[in-house]
Amino acid sequence: MAIQNLKSYQYKDIFSVQTVSFENACIFNQPEEVDTYSIYWIKEGQGSYHIDFKKYDFQDNVLFFLSPGQVFSISSESVKQAYKISFVKDFYCIQTHDKAVACNGVLFNNVYETPFVQPCESDTRKLIFILESLIEEFQKNEVAQYDMLQTYLKQFIILSVRIQKEQSEIKTDIETRLFKDFSVLVEQNFKMIHSVADYASRLGLSPKSLAKNFQRVGAESPSDFIKNRILLEAKRQLIYSNLPVKEIAYDLGFNDAAYFSRFFTKAVRKSPLQFKKEY
């Protein structure tokens, strides 16, 4: 990768902003596991990215949001101007601020549909203003810098949520809120709880009622939802850890490693070892 210009602004080791320009197209074939909450804003450029084993093509002025644990790689890109915002939970907790900001399960921790946000000209100007204010604050050494940086980050995220809602027409009806609540619950418990009935009980519903709610919003069945989250984590661990299949199985809540292998092979059509070898 030929980097023309790279500037980095950092608050301790918990929050940073980078501005990047590339001279030429570049290709990465090696996937990497994301270890922070990250916002990528490709202001000018195009390319193809792989996120959690799915390919996404983009062109100009697009933001996308990654959460810790997601698998990210670049198939190809030609970028003139880009920004990267990275932060950890200790700096800004997505779950804590979700009631006010409503980004959990929408922008972040949404492993089922990676959000690509494309701001219009007016929203782009607003995002640029916030970003420039962030960079200016990084260069100061004033009182309450932590709070100011966090406030600007929160503004950036709130505006991104609003843009996403306008573009995707994110519904606020009961069924859609239930779907989000279910997805967040699965994200927190999928290693320990595999039963639809257990999740339905926590949401105060019967499994049948939960399934009907999923049908109304056009989602996959609750059982497939849980299965696919387990499979995604299995793929991540097979690639990014040196754990044997048996330990991965136990970590994902399977008492029988052989059953886990059959579960994985049936869904992926490759054994865990075959999948690992190919990557």
Give the percent of the chain with pLDDT over 90. Answer: 44
Count of domains forming the chain: 2
Residues 161 and 215 in one domain: no
Does the residue 113 lie in any domain? yes
| Structure confidence at residue 146 as a pLDDT band (50, 70, 90) | very high
| Structure confidence at residue 183 as a pLDDT band (50, 70, 90) | confident
Give the percent of the chain with pLDDT over 70. Answer: 84
CA–CA distance, 228 with 31 (Å, rounded to integer): 20
Residues 137 and 203 in one domain: no
Quote the pLDDT of residue 262. Answer: 96
Most confident of 30-44, 47-61, 218-232, 257-271: 257-271
Residues 134 and 19 in one domain: yes
Q: Which domain holds residue 265?
A: 179-278
- Judge whether residue 148 has pLDDT over 90: yes
> Look-up: residue for tokens 């069924």?
175
| Structure confidence at residue 151 as a pLDDT band (50, 70, 90) | very high
- Judge whether residue 41 has pLDDT over 90: yes
Residue after which a domain boundary falls, among 138, 168, 198:
168
For 100, counting Cβ atoms within 10 Å of its Cβ (0-12 exposed, 13-18 middle, 19+ buried), the class is exposed
- Judge whether residue 181 has pLDDT over 70: yes
CA–CA distance, 265 with 172 (Å, rounded to integer): 38
Quote the pLDDT of residue 179. Answer: 80
CA–CA distance, 62 with 149 (Å, rounded to integer): 23
Does the residue 173 lie in any domain? no
Residue after which a domain boundary falls, among 168, 189, 223:
168
Residues 132 and 193 in one domain: no
- Judge whether residue 173 has pLDDT over 60: no
pLDDT for 46-65, tens place per residue? Answer: 888 888 878 888 888 999 88
Residues 35 and 69 in one domain: yes
Does the residue 174 lie in any domain? no
Does the residue 202 lie in any domain? yes
Closest CA to 165 of 180, 151, 153: 180
Quote the pLDDT of residue 201. Answer: 94
CATH of the domain at 10: 2.60.120.280
Residues 146 and 199 in one domain: no
Residues 105 and 152 in one domain: yes
* Spatial CB neighbours of 55, under 8 Å, sequence gap ≥ 6: 48, 49, 75
For residue 110, the Cα-to-chain-centroid distance in whole angstroms is 5
